Amino acid sequence: MDKPRLLEERPAREVIEKLKNEYPDAREILNFSNPLEMMVSIILAARSKDEAVNACTAELFKRYRTAKDYASAKPEDILKYIHGIMFASNKAKSIIGSCRIIEDKYGGRVPSEMSKLVELPGIGRKSANTILINAFGKAEGIPADTHVIRVSYRLGLADSQQPDEVEASLMKLVDKKDWGRIAYVIKFHGRAVCRAPIPICSKCAVASSCQKNGVSNSK
């Protein structure tokens, strides 16, 4: 495989600005109304479509309202609501396990610190970043999901496909005030245009700068 090409800082920042203008309404599309619902949605969203998660949380959130509700549930109780989600059984256990810790250690409140969030079952750094941004208005990093990794690598904003390395590259290129939004901007571009497996480069607003790392076929 060819060595990936990385954009210089100035064109990379120009690409980011163009994408920001292209997707002014980019935002989280998981439905939630409090930090607990955000956390549960994020656990369910791993390797699943956000729309599928929203479809099942509509009823789940009516039945389970507090960390204590989940902490005292059995996995099969929660599975009734989430059976259509990938890895539902493991995710039900993660939700219950996380809520037991939240009950025991944090008085029933989802913690707002990265170090505490990543210790909860089913929550890694990407998920913790997403919870901090959306539930607490705190951006400590940039959540690098599969879309963000794919698009950043193709464009040449990152020369790695490892989540931590993509996040670190973006944190150097993006002003901190935009850390909470940029992942959604890139994700929206990945869903609309820079799709997996075949990107629609003919409709791409940043095609003239793109390094097309790993792209062998496009529309």
Reading the block at residue 68, the tokens are 């204590």
The correct pick among 154, 183, 186, 188 for binding ligand SF4 (CB under 6 A) is 154
Which of these, 30, 139, 47, 145, lies nearest to 94 by C-alpha position? Answer: 47
Nearer to ligand SF4 by Cβ, of 168 and 215: the residue is: 215
Identity of the amino acid at 134:
N
Alpha-carbon distance 148 to 187, whole Å?
Answer: 6
Minimum gap (Å) between residue 16 Cβ and ligand SF4: 12
How many chain residues bind ligand SF4 (CB under 6 A)? 15
- Is residue 201 part of the contact set for ligand SF4 (CB under 6 A)? yes
- Is residue 191 part of the contact set for ligand SF4 (CB under 6 A)? no
Positions 72 through 131 that interact with ligand SF4 (CB under 6 A): none
Considering only 66-74, 75-83, 95-103, 205-213, which stretch makes contact with ligand SF4 by CB under 6 A? 205-213
Q: What per-residue string of b and e applies to 174-204 under the rule 16 or more CB within 10 Å gives b?
A: beeebbbbbbbbbbbbbbebbbeeebebeeb
- Is residue 161 part of the contact set for ligand SF4 (CB under 6 A)? no
Considering only 59-67, 104-112, 116-124, 197-205, which stretch makes contact with ligand SF4 by CB under 6 A? 197-205
Reading the block at residue 69, the tokens are 């509700």
Identity of the amino acid at 14:
E
- Are 9 and 214 within 8 A, CB to CB? no
Rg (alpha carbons) of the chain, rounded to whole number? 18
Positions 1 through 20 that interact with ligand SF4 (CB under 6 A): none
Nearer to ligand SF4 by Cβ, of 7 and 142: the residue is: 7
Rounded to 10 degrees, the C-alpha dihedral 63/64/68/73 comes to 70
- Are 134 and 32 within 8 A, CB to CB? yes
Alpha-carbon distance 73 to 149, whole Å?
Answer: 35
Nearer to ligand SF4 by Cβ, of 89 and 218: the residue is: 218
The Cβ of residue 147 has, within 10 Å, a number of other Cβ atoms equal to 19
Nearer to ligand SF4 by Cβ, of 33 and 217: the residue is: 217
The correct pick among 42, 155, 157, 186 for binding ligand SF4 (CB under 6 A) is 155
- Are 175 and 193 within 8 A, CB to CB? no
Considering only 87-95, 121-129, 158-166, 194-202, which stretch makes contact with ligand SF4 by CB under 6 A? 194-202
- Is residue 210 part of the contact set for ligand SF4 (CB under 6 A)? yes
Residues within the interface to ligand SF4 (CB under 6 A): 151, 154-155, 193-194, 199-201, 204, 206-207, 210, 212, 215, 218
